[in-house]
Structure 1
Amino acid sequence: MANDQTKKKNSITQPRNLATLLSVLVPGLGQIYNRRILKGLILLIVALSFLVTTWDYLDIGIWGLFTLGTIPKEHHSIQLLLQGLISLIVLFVGIVIYIYNIVDARKGAIAREEGKPNPTLIKAITNFYDRGFPYFMVLPGLIMLIFIVVLPLLFMVALAFTDYNQYNAPPRNLLNWVGFDNFVDLVNIDIWKDTFFSVFAWTIVWTVVATSLQIVLGFFLALLVNDKRIKFKRTIRTVLILPWAVPAFVSILIFSALFNPTFGAINRDILSTFEIMIPWLSDPFWAKVALIMIQTWLGFPFVFALFTGVLQSVPADMYEAADVDGGSRWQKLRHITVPHVLFATAPLLIMQYAGNFNNFNIIYLFNEGNPAVRGQNAGGTDILISWVYKLTFQTNNYNMAAAITIIMGVLVMGFAFYQFRKTAAFKEEGGRY
């Protein structure tokens, strides 16, 4: 009895296993075995076309990705690296098609075992239109995304593990894979270590202080304008939004001139009245203070506009209930206004912090990250992103720039992910994500 059941089970599972094996050996052969001739031929033609058209490219690409070339001045390591990364993407697409071929053949065999008829050509086209048409329409955009976004990111990550710098650049020299040496150098070699920790500390201070000030100022002004006793609200809102209406790079250049210690209006016309002259551009501390004030000025209008709209949506009956219970202004602000505002705006506020962490424009346009600091290869006001720019375009330290960029990306993604997870706006009812 047991043997009969085993034979019956083997006879049931044999077609699906055979179809799977045939698809593993030759793409499309499993579909042909399942009597889906047209689909099997299409998959076979696609597989053969893929191999014929990409074999040589993949061969050279994978070889170049591992070796980065073997003959100086003849092999270009950067070109080989790019070809290798593209080869990986193309190979991944081929593997996806190959896996689809195997899974489809097995599903077809199972349907055949259950006595289900094979779909006709018209039925197959209809199923593709219903299920696959959206994916087919998204495909061009996805391909562009891969080569415009994913490929540059992979290239940047790869550079962080090479020795590509101003003293070792192709085609004169070949690049080498150096593992995590660049990351180790950031915390071991004195000039890199001192610069990295100094710039990193200032980046954190800059992000937290400048962003927090613009949020606090925007929230404070939004509370004032939202007060029922305030008149001419439209005019006041228009005036407070004006800094946002002016292009940021224009405002930054104007502020750079205003803060000039020699001919700037702040020193010459305002502080000179009190016999004070502050070196805004030549002293790192005062340059940082100026940058924080400028960013507060540039950033608060957006926060003000955001909070103004949210404050008008707070239900009035909540404040009336608080008045009945004898709640003070501070208690209403703390327990009603602030939670309601944060619930609605927390994701955008998080993006404000992330944006300022990589706010290259203001640092570069104000004073290009200067003044210089003794013993460091970054300026006194450089943040990580502006330092990466200098390492890339001024000193050609591409490997270190890529390593720092990876660290920046990990920090921003980690901070944003953690804060989004903690934000009530991203929680489902019942406290689950």
Structure 2
Amino acid sequence: MPKNENYSSNFQDKKNNHNPNIATILSLIFAGLGQLYNKRFLKGLILILLEVSFIITCADFINLGLWGIRTLGTMPGVDHSIFLLVYGLISLILIVFAIIFYVLNVKDARKQAKLIAQGWKAPSIRESIKIAYDKSFVYLLTIPGFVLLIFSVLLPLLFAVSLAFTNYDLYNSPPKNLLDWVGFENFGKLITAPLWKDTFVSVFAWTIMWTLVATTFQIVLGLFLALLANDSRIKFKKVIRTILILPWAVPGFVSILIFAAMFNNEFGTINRDIIIPLFGGEGIPWLSDPFYTRIVLILIQTWLGYPFVFALFSGVLQSVSKDWYEAAEVDGATRWQKFKNITLPHVLFATAPLLIIQYTTNFNNFNVIYLFNEGGPAVQGQNAGGTDILISWVYKLTFETNNYSMAAAISLIIGILISIFAILQFRRTSSFKQEGKI
């Protein structure tokens, strides 16, 4: 239904007794009745047909879905709680669609009833179709994609969030067992239960440290190398840039597996060919001591991440006007002052959103953590490894111990943290502001 129509040429001089309240009540009783009262017969019949079709097609499914999401089943071995949960979520989405449809229907009927009461004359069917097509064409193109987005993105997200409030685990899996709603019990375990509390605090602290240190290192290294490669005194810039970008050309998982072999405690080349010949002993326990494993992981991520930042900064530095540096030299500015007041602000202004994405990506950087040492080594008194971050811990809870509800609860915490961080940083970043308002 078009929200706005061109009524200016359809008003009559005299008002009539057409009652908008009647149109509103009829539309509330059944979609389309208000339009029939307004003598918009084609629109009214279409709305009536849509509501009848919706009731016939979806009524039983919605009834089953609402019962399923409320109870999650009543007969073990017969009712499947997961299926019922999905049916319930789909039913809620359909109900939201129906409510939006009804609200638009009522608003349309009441608005046109008011216009008719003021003397407006409805256009002919041909004119109505033309107006509707002109006003609704853009919605006809976007609505299918929007609906697909809801069922492909929003529905899985709602399902994952819902699991966080159930008791779905290895020992309580449908269809043999029924799930139950447990409220915030899973989140309470992360705070009160000793095993979960100790693990969550340790993993969360390492995740924050990993994100900040590894990402900052790759950004600083990328910026440093970009400044060197962009220096006018450096020769063979193209060769240097090609060499520095090479780590980006190798698939990440290949590099990680190679590093895992190089740092192996027993046969790795780092211990066998470097550490032991130079310092003696049995080498450094790269994979069995969490401290050394974390250091190696940070170095590996710095190696893997700096080429992108280097390429990004190199492109931005090319756009910095040389006139600014010449003017700064005339004013007697030092190299540090030129970097601090010209180079760095320009680079950060142009790249801040992408740098924020680097932090949020590393917060959930599963590949490096899992491929290098599967989140190990094991830590006594915890159900996560010494280098597990939140996302790799979620993976283990899901696929190794089948503790789906706790994995969903931690995933919800991850999503909230990343969303808050991203929103706050994007709001503080100048890159999305108009230049004249900076």
TM-score, normalised on structure 2?
Answer: 0.94
Moved more, 272-281 or 244-253: 272-281
Residue 266 to residue 27, structure 1, CA distance change in 2 (3 Å): same
1:191 paired with 2:160, answer no
Aligned to 1:358: 364
1:403: Cα distance to partner?
Answer: 0.6
Q: Counterparts of 1:96 and 1:13 in 2: how far apart (Å)?
A: 29
Match of 2:169 among 161, 165, 168: 165
Q: Which amino acid aligns with 1:17?
A: N
Q: Counterparts of 2:393 and 2:16 in 1: how far apart (Å)?
A: 65
Q: Counterparts of 2:24 and 2:435 in 1: how far apart (Å)?
A: 44
1:404: Cα distance to partner?
Answer: 0.4
1:119: Cα distance to partner?
Answer: 2.7
Aligned to 2:211: 207
Report the 3-state secondary structure (helix = DSSP H, G, I; strand = E; otherwise coil) of the residue aligned with 1:370. coil
Aligned to 1:423: 429
1:126: Cα distance to partner?
Answer: 2.5
Q: Counterparts of 2:136 and 2:268 in 1: how far apart (Å)?
A: 63
Q: Where does 1:227-266 land on structure 2 (aligned, <5 Å)? A: 227-266=231-270
Contact 2:247–2:303, Cα closer than 8 Å, also in 1: yes
Residue 29 to residue 220, structure 1, CA distance change in 2 (3 Å): same
1:331 paired with 2:337, answer yes
Report the 3-state secondary structure (helix = DSSP H, G, I; strand = E; otherwise coil) of the residue aligned with 1:91. helix
Aligned to 1:6: none
Q: Counterparts of 1:314 and 1:30 in 2: how far apart (Å)?
A: 63
Q: Counterparts of 1:307 and 1:287 in 2: how far apart (Å)?
A: 30
Q: Which amino acid aligns with 1:346?
A: A
Q: Counterparts of 2:234 and 2:133 in 1: how far apart (Å)?
A: 59
Q: Counterparts of 2:81 and 2:16 in 1: how far apart (Å)?
A: 54
Match of 1:272 among 269, 276, 282: 276
Contact 2:16–2:118, Cα closer than 8 Å, also in 1: no
Contact 2:264–2:287, Cα closer than 8 Å, also in 1: yes
Q: Counterparts of 1:394 and 1:92 in 2: how far apart (Å)?
A: 37
Aligned to 1:396: 402
Q: Counterparts of 1:407 and 1:21 in 2: how far apart (Å)?
A: 45
Q: Which amino acid aligns with 1:406?
A: L
Aligned to 2:352: 346
Match of 2:224 among 204, 220, 225: 220
1:133 paired with 2:137, answer yes
Report the 3-state secondary structure (helix = DSSP H, G, I; strand = E; otherwise coil) of the residue aligned with 2:67. helix
Match of 2:373 among 367, 370, 374: 367
Aligned to 1:295: 301
1:81 paired with 2:85, answer yes
Q: Counterparts of 2:433 and 2:129 in 1: how far apart (Å)?
A: 41
The C-alpha deviation readout for 1:61-116, integer Å capped at 9, x for no partner, is: 00111111111111111111010001011111111111111111112112212323
Q: Counterparts of 1:430 and 1:392 in 2: how far apart (Å)?
A: 50
Q: Counterparts of 1:420 and 1:13 in 2: how far apart (Å)?
A: 54
1:431: Cα distance to partner?
Answer: 4.6
Aligned to 1:180: 184
1:233: Cα distance to partner?
Answer: 0.8
The C-alpha deviation readout for 1:330-353, integer Å capped at 9, x for no partner, is: 011111111110000000000000
Contact 2:18–2:113, Cα closer than 8 Å, also in 1: no
Aligned to 1:25: 29
Q: Counterparts of 2:339 and 2:18 in 1: how far apart (Å)?
A: 71
Q: Counterparts of 2:17 and 2:169 in 1: how far apart (Å)?
A: 59
Q: Counterparts of 1:132 and 1:284 in 2: how far apart (Å)?
A: 60
Aligned to 1:407: 413
Q: Which amino acid aligns with 2:271?
A: N
Aligned to 1:114: 118
List alignment gaps of at least 5 residues for structure 1: 1-10
1:377 paired with 2:404, answer no
Aligned to 1:7: none
1:307: Cα distance to partner?
Answer: 0.3
1:235: Cα distance to partner?
Answer: 1.0
1:12: Cα distance to partner?
Answer: 7.5
Aligned to 1:3: none
Q: Which amino acid aligns with 1:389?
A: Y
Q: Counterparts of 2:130 and 2:298 in 1: how far apart (Å)?
A: 60
What CA RMSD, in Å, does the superposition of the two structures yield over aligned residues?
1.4
Q: Which amino acid aligns with 1:190?
A: P
Q: Which amino acid aligns with 1:387?
A: W
List alignment gaps of at least 5 residues for structure 2: 1-14
1:131: Cα distance to partner?
Answer: 2.4
1:130: Cα distance to partner?
Answer: 2.5
1:133: Cα distance to partner?
Answer: 1.7
